[in-house]
Amino acid sequence: MFAKLTAENRLGSFKAVVDEHYRYHQFYGGCAVALVILYAGGLRQTHFAINKRSILTALAFLAFEWLLATTAADAFKRYVERGTIVAKGEGVARAAAHR
């Protein structure tokens, strides 16, 4: 899809890449950072005690945080790959398609 767009309108294509991928990176990355702050504040408010519930909550939080960070990294990787295809042109798109 992105390879066909490079021949017609590179600026429009690049804006589409930004809209489709970089915004997702920003969203997931922002959520990951905000949730760490919220979780730390929640721990201060509840006077964290070690019990079964707190351990399960901490594990669930870490799993969700890992998911957000992984998704943010993947969205950024796709943004860079597809932005490079649009910026460099059709030759790079053909080479990337053959991988």
pLDDT tens digits for range 40-59: 888 888 776 788 888 898 89
Domain of residue 20, residue span: 2-97
**pLDDT > 70? residue 5:** no
Q: How many domains does the chain have?
A: 1
Q: Tell me the CA distances in angstroms from 58 to 17, 36, 51, one per residue in order.
A: 36, 11, 11
Question: 89: which residues sit within 8 A by CB, 6+ positions away?
Answer: 6, 10
pLDDT score for 34: 94
> Which of 13-22, 31-40, 41-50 shows the highest mean pLDDT?
31-40
CB 6 within 8 A of CB 13: yes
Two structure tokens written together for 46: 């509840």
What's the rounded Cα separation, in Å, for the pair 38 and 43? 9
> Which pLDDT band, with edges at 50, 70 and 90, does 73 fall under?
very high
What percent of the chain lies above the pLDDT cut of 70?
79
The model carries a pTM of 0.69
**Alpha helices, H only, 1-99:** 2-6, 10-17, 23-46, 52-88, 90-97
